[in-house]
């Protein structure tokens, strides 16, 4: 049976469109952990040939959000406490460095971009557009990370960022959690604006630990001891 709930792309000829459509369905839970990804079903759902979908599956495997096994085909990667811990330990390490470097050289333009993204996230959450809110949330963080000036570290964040979104999906409808997240975002931004590298790094660390705590308290406690 073809999966339902996938957003059919406006144009149906490129691998990138197939990649984006399937990734979105994975991040918002339409395709949950363990869900099979059959080429024929995806082709019917997205209204495109199997060739770009096949290539998109290869790229999604490289990105780490799906796995392909011999004789079983592709499926969305499982979630687990170990994977959650590994994902966020990696994020704290990489993004902490990016925050520190960004704070050292933060510009007015970077601050403006980050604030605009935060406001856009708020607007989209109020309108109930979770997908657009998720994009704005990512843009907030990346507006800060781009200020670090490291192309390779920024690229390295992308796979673990996408994987972490699968865990965050369960907290997107909790107003109290979202309010807390906004305050944490503002603390990160404030430290960057004031050019306080240590404070920015610590604010980012506490933000990510807080996120994990709302997903799995045991993992959060372990992570607090492991995270630099």
Give the CATH number for residue 40: 1.10.10.10
Given a cut of 90, whether residue 227 has pLDDT beyond it is no
In this structure, are 119 and 210 located in the same domain?
A: yes
DSSP state of 14: -
Whole-angstrom distance, CA of residue 112 vs CA of residue 199: 20
Q: Per-residue pLDDT tens for 153-192?
A: 999 999 999 999 989 876 766 677 788 899 999 999 999 9
In this structure, are 126 and 44 located in the same domain?
A: no
Helix residue ranges, H only, the chain: 15-27, 39-46, 50-63, 81-104, 108-127, 130-146, 151-168, 175-193, 197-213, 217-226
pLDDT: which is higher, 142 or 10? 142
In-domain check, residue 9: no
Neighbouring-strand partners of residue 68: 74
In this structure, are 105 and 133 located in the same domain?
A: yes
pLDDT at 99: 97
Q: Which domain does 174 fall in, by range?
A: 81-226
The residue from 25, 45, 76 where one domain ends is: 76
Q: Per-residue pLDDT tens for 36-65?
A: 999 999 999 988 888 999 999 999 998 889
In-domain check, residue 4: no
The residue from 51, 76, 101 where one domain ends is: 76
pLDDT at 12: 45
Q: What is the pTM of this model?
A: 0.86
Whole-angstrom distance, CA of residue 119 vs CA of residue 122: 5
């Amino acid at each position: 049976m073809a999966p339902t709930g996938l957003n059919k792309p406006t144009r149906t000829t490129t691998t990138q469109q197939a990649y984006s459509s399937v990734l979105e369905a994975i991040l918002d839970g339409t395709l949950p952990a363990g869900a099979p990804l059959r080429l024929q079903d995806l082709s019917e759902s997205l209204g495109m040939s199997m060739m770009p979908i096949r290539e998109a599956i290869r790229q999604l495997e490289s990105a780490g959000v799906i796995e392909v096994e011999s004789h079983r085909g592709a499926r969305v990667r499982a979630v687990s406490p170990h994977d959650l811990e590994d994902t966020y330990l990696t994020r704290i390490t990489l993004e902490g460095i990016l925050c520190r470097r960004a704070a050292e050289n933060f510009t007015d333009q970077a601050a403006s971009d980050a604030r605009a993204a935060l406001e856009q996230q708020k607007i989209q959450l109020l309108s109930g557009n979770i997908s657009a809110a998720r994009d704005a949330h990512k843009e907030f963080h990346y507006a800060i990370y781009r200020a670090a000036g490291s192309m390779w570290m920024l690229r390295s964040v992308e796979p673990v960022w996408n994987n972490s979104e699968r865990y965050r999906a369960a907290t997107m409808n909790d107003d109290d959690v979202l309010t807390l997240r906004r305050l944490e975002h503002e603390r990160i931004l404030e430290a960057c604006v004031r050019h306080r590298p240590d404070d920015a790094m610590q604010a980012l660390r506490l933000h990510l630990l807080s996120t994990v705590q709302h997903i799995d308290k045991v993992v959060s406690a372990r992570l607090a001891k492991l995270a630099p």
